[in-house]
Amino acid sequence: MLIQKVMRKVNDSVLEISVVIPTYNRAVLLERAIRSVLAQTRAVEEIIVVDDGSNDSTKKMIESLYKDRVNYIYQPNRGVSHARNTGIKNSTGNWVALLDSDDEWHPNKLEIQIEALRNQPEYNFCHTNEIWIRNGKRVNAMQKHEKSGGFIFEKCLPLCVISPSSVLMRKTIVDEIGLFDEDLPACEDYDYWLRYCCCNPVLYIETPLLTKYGGHDDQLSKKYLGMDRFRLRALLKAMSLTCLSSSQSDSIRHMFFEKYKILESGAKKHDNVELLNYCEALMLEMESLLAQKNDKN
């Protein structure tokens, strides 16, 4: 066991990082994100920007400022999951760092994460704390957004507690759990962390190593009302994960019904028939899945 651990630390000394940045009509914000990667105290092996169908000056900005330092990939608009997956598929590093185009890394982010991973080589996934800026002002995160490390599956159930922009993960994770779900227009990160954290621990760095900017009009949380509809879909998927313990299955079921009741109440209040029908369809799927599980037991 000791020999294996030492060998892994030696292998990790050759650590190649690919940074994947999906973007859509965010030329100015994207430029800030790229600058924050280039300012890292530990340089990266490649930066991949996946332009998800922008019609602003994104391509012109990259060609004029970062042509030789950024791998620019343009695709028709297909959503953030597809764009992020395109970047991961085209990456050449053995580690992938994710960065949303409206966020900004602190200069020593990767250096600190790499050192932590080398000191604890049993981890394949590392995330960090963050600073929030909303509408130009710093805000404190609420307790429900508190982050942590280790086996955090239950903590991932209420809402997303891992920011994509903080993540540095071994690329072999994709072989283990697949890519981001392209059928989810939002909460695709919530779905991904559930799939990974159900069986694996994560390394957490309490120091804030990035700044997240919120309040702009193109955020997905503003585009889609009733975001829990997508979390319900992710919870339904999670119930089919093969590595779940009985307590994890119970936790998923309780969270699903809790979120369903809240979403159903809101849909009825606003007479949103489409959302109500969507929720009811998911409930039928969950009841069917639970019945199948009971039959097997």
Q: Tell me the C-alpha distance between 52 and 70, whole Å.
A: 16
CATH placement of domain 2-222: 3.90.550.10
Residues paired with 150 in a beta bridge = 202
Domain boundaries, the chain: 2-222, 228-296
Residues of the chain with pLDDT under 50: 1-12, 222
Provide the CA 140 distance to its chain's centre, in angstroms.
21
Reading the block at residue 202, the tokens are 């994560």
pLDDT at 224: 55
> For 90-131, how does the pLDDT look when each residue is reduced to its tens digit (9 = 90+)?
999 999 999 999 999 999 999 999 999 999 999 999 999 999
> For 19-62, how does the pLDDT look when each residue is reduced to its tens digit (9 = 90+)?
999 999 999 999 999 999 999 999 999 999 999 999 999 999 99
pLDDT at 217: 62
Give the DSSP letter string of 239-254.
Answer: TT-TT--HHHHHHHHH
Sign (positive or negative) of CA dihedral 108, 17, 214, 36: positive
pLDDT at 293: 80
pLDDT at 216: 57
